[in-house]
Amino acid sequence: MKTILRLSILVFVAGLLAMTAAKPTRVIFFGDSITQAGVNPGGYIDRLKKTMPADQYELIGAGIGGNKIYDLFLRMDEDVLAKQPDVVVIWVGVNDVWHKATSGTGTDPDKFIKFYNAVVKKLQAANIKVVLCTPAAIGEKTDMTNQQDGDLNQYSKFIRDIAQTQNLPLVDLRKAFLDYDLKNNPENKDRGVLTTDRVHLNDAGNQFVADQMQKVLMVSK
Amino acid sequence: MKTILRLSILVFVAGLLAMTAAKPTRVIFFGDSITQAGVNPGGYIDRLKKTMPADQYELIGAGIGGNKIYDLFLRMDEDVLAKQPDVVVIWVGVNDVWHKATSGTGTDPDKFIKFYNAVVKKLQAANIKVVLCTPAAIGEKTDMTNQQDGDLNQYSKFIRDIAQTQNLPLVDLRKAFLDYDLKNNPENKDRGVLTTDRVHLNDAGNQFVADQMQKVLMVSK
Amino acid sequence: MKTILRLSILVFVAGLLAMTAAKPTRVIFFGDSITQAGVNPGGYIDRLKKTMPADQYELIGAGIGGNKIYDLFLRMDEDVLAKQPDVVVIWVGVNDVWHKATSGTGTDPDKFIKFYNAVVKKLQAANIKVVLCTPAAIGEKTDMTNQQDGDLNQYSKFIRDIAQTQNLPLVDLRKAFLDYDLKNNPENKDRGVLTTDRVHLNDAGNQFVADQMQKVLMVSK
Amino acid sequence: MKTILRLSILVFVAGLLAMTAAKPTRVIFFGDSITQAGVNPGGYIDRLKKTMPADQYELIGAGIGGNKIYDLFLRMDEDVLAKQPDVVVIWVGVNDVWHKATSGTGTDPDKFIKFYNAVVKKLQAANIKVVLCTPAAIGEKTDMTNQQDGDLNQYSKFIRDIAQTQNLPLVDLRKAFLDYDLKNNPENKDRGVLTTDRVHLNDAGNQFVADQMQKVLMVSK
Q: Which of C100, C102, C105, C151 to mutate to test the interface with A (most CBs of A within 10 A)?
A: C102
Domain boundaries, chain C: 23-217
User: Cα–Cα distance between A203 and A193 in angstroms, integer?
Assistant: 9
User: B105 CA to chain D: closest CA distance, Å?
Assistant: 9
Q: Longest Cα pair distance anywhere in chain C, in angstroms?
A: 50
Is residue A75 pLDDT above 70, yes or no? yes
What value, to the nearest 5°, has the Cα angle with vertex C103 and ends C97 and C105?
A: 55
Give the closest of C104, C144, C157 to B149, CB-based.
C144
Chain C positions touching A100 (Cβ under 8 A) are 104
Residue-wise pLDDT tens digits, A124-133: 999 999 999 9
Q: What does the pLDDT average to over A163-192?
A: 98
Cβ atoms < 10 Å from Cβ of A34: 28
Cβ atoms < 10 Å from Cβ of D218: 17
Chain D positions touching chain C (beta carbons under 8 Å): 70-71, 74, 99-101, 103-108, 111, 114-115, 118
Is residue B3 pLDDT above 90, yes or no? no
- Chains meeting A at 3+ CB pairs closer than 8 A? B, C, D
User: B170 CA to chain C: closest CA distance, Å?
Assistant: 19
First to last CA, chain C: 23
Chain C positions touching D108 (Cβ under 8 A) are 103, 105
Chain B positions touching chain D (beta carbons under 8 Å): 100-104
Q: Which residues of chain D have pLDDT under 50?
A: 1, 20, 220-221
Best CA proximity match to D49, nearest among D27, D68, D69: D27
Is residue C40 pLDDT above 70, yes or no? yes
Q: At what angle do helices C109-125 and C69-79 cross, to 10 degrees?
A: 20
Q: Is there a contact between B105 and A104 if contact means CB atoms under 8 Å apart?
A: yes
Average pLDDT value for chain A: 93
User: A170 CA to chain B: closest CA distance, Å?
Assistant: 26
Chain B positions touching D101 (Cβ under 8 A) are 103-104
Chain C positions touching D115 (Cβ under 8 A) are 70, 74
Chain C positions touching D100 (Cβ under 8 A) are 103-105
In total, the C-beta contacts within 8 angstroms joining chain A to chain B are: 41
Chain A positions touching chain B (beta carbons under 8 Å): 70-71, 74, 99-101, 103-108, 111, 114-115, 118
Neighbouring C-alpha atoms within 13 Å toward the C-beta of B161: 11
Average pLDDT value for chain C: 93
In total, the C-beta contacts within 8 angstroms joining chain B to chain C are: 48
Cβ atoms < 10 Å from Cβ of D169: 22
Residue C29: Cβ-neighbour burial (10 angstroms; 0-12, 13-18, 19+): buried
Chain C positions touching B147 (Cβ under 8 A) are 150-151, 154
Look at residue A20 in the predicted model and tell me its pLDDT. Answer: 47
Q: How far is CA B17 from CA B10, B84, B214, B219, C83, in A?
A: 10, 17, 14, 11, 78
Give the closest of D100, D104, D145 to A157, CB-based.
D145
Q: What does the pLDDT average to over B88-108?
A: 98
- CA torsion D208-D210-D216-D218 (nearest 10°) is -130
Chain B positions touching C100 (Cβ under 8 A) are 101
* Best CATH choice for the domain B23-217 from the list 3.40.50.720, 3.40.50.1110, 2.60.120.620, 3.30.750.200: 3.40.50.1110
Q: How far is CA A24 from CA A11, A57, A146, in A?
A: 18, 5, 41
Report the chain D residue with the minimal C-alpha distance to residue C73: D115
User: D110 CA to chain C: closest CA distance, Å?
Assistant: 10
Give the closest of A105, A106, A114 to B74, CB-based.
A114
Look at residue D221 in the predicted model and tell me its pLDDT. Answer: 34
DSSP secondary structure letter of residue C61:
E
Are the beta carbons of B194 and B137 closer than 8 angstroms?
A: yes
Residue-wise pLDDT tens digits, B135-189: 999 999 999 999 999 999 999 999 999 999 999 999 999 999 999 999 999 999 9
Chain D positions touching A157 (Cβ under 8 A) are 143, 145
**For A88-102, B24-38, C16-30, which range has the lowest pLDDT when averaged over its residues?**
C16-30
Is residue B118 pLDDT above 70, yes or no? yes
In total, the C-beta contacts within 8 angstroms joining chain B to chain D are: 10
Look at residue A5 in the predicted model and tell me its pLDDT. Answer: 54
User: Cα–Cα distance between B192 and B202 in angstroms, integer?
Assistant: 7
Chain C positions touching chain B (beta carbons under 8 Å): 100-101, 104, 139, 143-154, 157
Give the closest of D100, D145, D149 to A101, CB-based.
D100
Q: Is there a contact between A104 and B107 if contact means CB atoms under 8 Å apart?
A: no
Q: Which of D97, D100, D102, D151 to mutate to test the interface with B (most CBs of B within 10 A)?
A: D102
Chain C positions touching D112 (Cβ under 8 A) are none
Is residue C12 pLDDT above 80, yes or no? no
Q: What does the pLDDT average to over B25-42?
A: 98
Best CA proximity match to A31, nearest among A113, A116, A92: A92
Q: Is there a contact between A104 and C101 if contact means CB atoms under 8 Å apart?
A: yes
Chain B positions touching chain A (beta carbons under 8 Å): 70-71, 74, 99-101, 103-108, 111, 114-115, 118
Give the closest of A70, A101, A114 to B111, CB-based.
A70
User: A4 CA to chain B: closest CA distance, Å?
Assistant: 32
Neighbouring C-alpha atoms within 13 Å toward the C-beta of B152: 29
Best CA proximity match to A104, nearest among C145, B116, D109, D105: D105
**Would you mind telling me the total number of residues written for chain A in this entry?**
221
Are the beta carbons of B79 and B31 closer than 8 angstroms?
A: no
Q: How confident is the model at residue A218 (pLDDT cuts 50, 70, 90)?
A: confident
In total, the C-beta contacts within 8 angstroms joining chain A to chain D are: 49
Residue-wise pLDDT tens digits, C56-89: 999 999 999 999 999 999 999 999 999 999 999 9
Give the closest of D104, D147, D151 to A154, CB-based.
D147
Q: Is there a contact between A74 and B115 if contact means CB atoms under 8 Å apart?
A: yes
Look at residue D80 in the predicted model and tell me its pLDDT. Answer: 98
- Chains meeting D at 3+ CB pairs closer than 8 A? A, B, C
Is residue C220 pLDDT above 50, yes or no? no
Is residue B91 pLDDT above 90, yes or no? yes
* % of chain B surpassing 90 pLDDT: 88
SS3 A69: helix
Report the chain A residue with the minimal C-alpha distance to residue B115: A74
Sheet holding D25-31, edge to edge: D57-63, D25-31, D87-91, D129-133, D170-171
User: A112 CA to chain D: closest CA distance, Å?
Assistant: 14
User: Cα–Cα distance between A105 and B170 in angstroms, integer?
Assistant: 27
Q: How confident is the model at residue A220 (pLDDT cuts 50, 70, 90)?
A: very low
pTM, 2 dp: 0.91
User: Cα–Cα distance between D100 and D113 in angstroms, integer?
Assistant: 16
Q: Which of B103, B138, B148, B151 to mutate to test the interface with D (most CBs of D within 10 A)?
A: B103
Q: How confident is the model at residue A4 (pLDDT cuts 50, 70, 90)?
A: low
User: Cα–Cα distance between D88 and D54 in angstroms, integer?
Assistant: 17
Look at residue A165 in the predicted model and tell me its pLDDT. Answer: 97
User: Cα–Cα distance between B103 and A109 in angstroms, integer?
Assistant: 11
Is residue A221 pLDDT above 70, yes or no? no
Residues 6+ apart with CB under 8 A from B31: B38, B62, B63, B67, B72, B89, B90, B91, B92, B133
Is residue C195 pLDDT above 70, yes or no? yes
